[in-house]
């Protein structure tokens, strides 16, 4: 059996991809393999169960799960695996992602989801946190992560300038 990449990025809908692709791009910058899939808690519940119950045996190490609105996906996946699950609340139109955030963050004690910020920042940070978790057992990745941080630091100008 071919082992899966270490990180799964799952999302409830194609409409989540413009947000979740920031997680994918961040992992690419860190030269980390991932697999991105659409898995909906509401529209494809059996696909979700199949994914979550086999994720560890498939070789995944960390799951990044993004969803919006009534965002049950990260919590439902976390209920079926003991892999770390990082939840990204996708910004919804009606409530600007407040609904997504509260749906993901308010897990009952016993079934953890590491919840990130709403939207792009959350997607980027989910990828960085996944890398940080994996770097505990991967010195080379730890160095790539430190280099990513250093590049970010070096990119911050000391003085502001006008756009024009």
- Residue from 9, 16, 64, 101 in contact with ligand RP5 (CB under 6 A): 16
Comparing CB distances to ligand RP5, the nearer of 32 and 86 is 86
Binding letters toward ligand RP5, positions 22-41, x by CB under 6 A: ------------------x-
Rounded to the nearest whole angstrom, what is the least distance from the CB of residue 9 to ligand RP5 in the complex? 13
Residue holding tokens 């995944």?
60
100 carries a ligand binding annotation: no
37 carries a ligand binding annotation: no
Interface with ligand RP5 (CB under 6 A): 12-13, 15-16, 40, 42, 67-69, 90
């Amino acid at each position: 059996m071919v082992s899966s990449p270490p990180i799964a990025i799952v999302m409830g809908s194609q409409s989540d991809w413009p947000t979740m692709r920031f997680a994918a791009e961040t992992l690419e910058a860190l030269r980390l393999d991932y697999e991105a899939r659409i898995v909906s808690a509401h529209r494809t519940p059996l696909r979700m169960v199949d994914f979550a119950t086999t994720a560890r045996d498939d070789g995944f190490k960390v799951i990044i799960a993004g969803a919006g609105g009534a965002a049950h996906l990260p919590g439902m996946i976390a209920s079926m695996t003991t892999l770390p699950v990082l939840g990204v609340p996708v910004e919804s139109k009606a409530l600007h992602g407040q609904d997504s955030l509260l749906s993901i963050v308010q897990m009952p004690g016993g079934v953890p989801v590491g919840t990130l910020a709403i939207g792009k920042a959350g997607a980027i940070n989910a990828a960085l946190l996944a890398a940080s978790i994996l770097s505990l057992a991967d010195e080379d990745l730890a160095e790539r992560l430190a280099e990513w941080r250093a590049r970010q630091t070096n990119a911050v100008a000391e003085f502001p300038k006008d756009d024009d």
